[in-house]
Structure 1
């Protein structure tokens, strides 16, 4: 079982991810709705991995990944993007994200991404 931080500006998406991750046997130890909250929450709960939305108010996911990786080089981050954000996904991987999943999520794809970073 891994500890997870779920980051998305949409409460519905956080709820959906929380439900899927819990079904997969992981514990959601924190949630954030923007990059600034994500960094703050990461520092407080030190999760095993993060699911990070790309497009959010105040600070986007790519900047949040950069900041988290600066302070926690071993942070494991999975980016979550909507269709059509492929360019941003490449930026996210360059910033240090390990994988990305495209919305709408399937539990199988989430499991695959999580297994990849935890193994």
Structure 2
């Protein structure tokens, strides 16, 4: 069964490369959001099984969106994506309830290994 993934990322090239990596490895990308507000709306309508969530985004960042998604669905599987040097925000996201995190830049096999745990 293909797992449904919602990709949340403000950089369009990164959104598309995540989508490509996931789809060619058997995941179904059900939505692409470019900020936290879109992420929450899409989560509620699309019911993805996994969310990849960028931490730093305009409008609403990944930590706020993570908090709101978990209020809506305490069992949500959200995996945070962050650039190097954001250790404090990564730790914060784990405390809030993110299931895991991936530091950018990352290799495809690392992304897949992380997602395969969920």
d(CA) in 2 for partners of 1:104, 1:72: 29
Specify the alignment match of 2:65 in structure 1: 64
Q: Which consecutive residues of structure 1, in runs of 5 or more, have no partner in the other structure? A: none
Q: Over aligned residues, Cα RMSD in angstroms?
A: 0.7
Specify the alignment match of 2:43 in structure 1: 42
Deviating 4+ runs (over 4 angstroms): none
Specify the alignment match of 2:98 in structure 1: 97
Specify the alignment match of 1:109 in structure 2: 110
Deviation at 1:102, TM superposition (A): 1.0
Deviation at 1:2, TM superposition (A): 0.3
Specify the alignment match of 1:28 in structure 2: 29
How many pairs align? 117
Q: Which consecutive residues of structure 2, in runs of 5 or more, have no partner in the other structure? A: none
d(CA) in 2 for partners of 1:15, 1:26: 14
TM-score scaled by structure 1?
0.96
Give the secondary structure class of the aligned counterpart of 1:57: coil
